[in-house]
Amino acid sequence: MAELEKFKMAIGGQWVGAASGETFESYNPYTAQPWAEIPKGAAADVDAAVEAAYQAGRPGSEWRSMTASARGALLQKFGDALLEAADHLGEMETRDNGKLIAEMGVQCKYLTQWYQYYGGLCDKIEGSVIPIDKPATFNYTVWEPLGVVACIVPWNSPLLLLTWKLAPLLAAGNTAVIKPSEYTSVSTLEFMKVVEQVGFPPGVINVVTGFGADVGAPLVEHPKVAKVAFTGSDTTGTQIYQAAAKHMKHVTMELGGKSPNIVFDDAEVDNAVKGAISGIFAATGQTCIAGSRLLVQESIHNEFVDKLVALAKTAKMGDPMNMDTQVGPVTNIPQFEKILDYIDIAKGEGAEAVLGGAKANSLECGDGWFVEPTIFTGVKNSMRIAQEEVFGPVLSVIPFKDEEEAIEIGNDVVYGLAAGVWTQNIRRAMIMADRLEAGTVWVNTYRAVSYMSPFGGYKQSGIGRESGQEMIKEYLQQKCVWISTATEVPNPFVLR
């Protein structure tokens, strides 16, 4: 076995191991072999990182003393540096989580846009002067940073989902302690080398690696953490929300999804088929916005499924480092086993696997954790396979009669992250967009995101928004200042 690559945590501008000296292994999903050694952090490491972030963000510190324009220039410089490092970071992510290098290379280059965008927004954060109704009084507002923000990041797109949090929180003047997933810590640690290169003041950005109980829990509960920004499952999100509430911490949560991808009989069928494939088999279905419920109008159901299966059969599985690979491995063993369990559940519920439905055993998949692209028909929306997030390449096809039934089925789930609508009828598109309970509705496209556009969910899919201009206020708090110019204080026993 090859010697493991060894990594350190970043705390207070220093590269350090865990205080305990303990480490754990990170696995390459394609080879199913360990390749990296990661520090196994614990509460002592969390304390050190939070204290470093707290001190770095105190009034009078180098970071807090920067003008907004200077802070913005640093963020934009950081964006430029990330662009230069994008190929390397993309390779690290692919090696650590198995996502396609064809996507990760592009995705890591796209990161720079968030830092450029929010860097430009730094000196546009303005308060207001209020024409108050009290005589001899000057009243105004300012926006101030919250303080230390805990960023808890999942394993499916570590750097992208970190950036959605980090760029705006830095633009707002906060500091950060990052906890990457224990399955995919490497790219975040490599990312910190770019932070060091650019010259952020020590302690502004920190990373503690380890497991949820050892690092995540003490980080969420730490009294000096002002906000928790989390992306992950709704089960874990609920636990974090409850823990954060004990200390009245601010939260932003982007949680699970069971998104409906709805195809009407007037859709451009070939485009809709591609949209359905993109919605569920891109990223091996390991994405919160996966269009895992495909709703197809009855009049075109059979024709559509035939074309869908025919195209899905052509998907090339194999080494995610190859540019022509289209479906890569599942990121970790627990998720791999969970997906196979859900496939068995679906079969037990009476759904029919018209494609896939098992572990992939082709030569191209080697020893990796691969699941065949799977399509189930005969699915009822009440089935577990239609109600619960699988987070894998498993699609449930559900027929519907008309707009009303499509809306009823689409909304009949506890999640509300995203939805897709395929139609050439603008009236129908507008009605569906209006009535679907989802934070994002795509019409004649799917799985599109931008630093300019807010992203987040309804219902159990989360709280708050990421990206877009307005969401920077998720990382700010408003202060109101009253200045009296009166020459005499009025009756002190009466509310002014």
- State the catalytic residues: 254, 288
Q: Which residues contact 274 (CB under 8 A, 6 or more apart)?
A: 311
Q: Which residues contact 342 (CB under 8 A, 6 or more apart)?
A: 384, 385, 388, 390, 392, 394
Q: Where are the beta strands (DSSP E) in 9-117?
A: 9-11, 14-16, 23-28, 33-39
485 within 8 A of 138, measured Cβ to Cβ:
yes
Rounded Cα–Cα distance for residues 224 and 120 (Å):
29
**Dihedral pair phi/psi, residue 409, rounded to 5°:** -70, -45
Kindly report the CA angle at 168 between 72 and 255, in degrees rounded to 5? 165
Give the residue from 259, 276, 264, 275 showing the smallest Cα distance to 436: 259
**Dihedral pair phi/psi, residue 436, rounded to 5°:** -75, 135
Helix axes 158-171, 68-97, angle to 10 degrees: 170
Helix axes 68-97, 101-121, angle to 10 degrees: 170
Rounded Cα–Cα distance for residues 384 and 386 (Å):
5
Residue type, 124: K
Residues listed for the chain: 496
Tokens of 198: 């650019």
Rounded Cα–Cα distance for residues 12 and 358 (Å):
47
Residue type, 395: L
Give the residue from 121, 135, 142 showing the smallest Cα distance to 72: 121
Rounded Cα–Cα distance for residues 47 and 51 (Å):
6
**Dihedral pair phi/psi, residue 413, rounded to 5°:** -165, 155
Phi-psi region of 447 (alpha: psi -120 to 50; beta: other; left: phi over 0): left
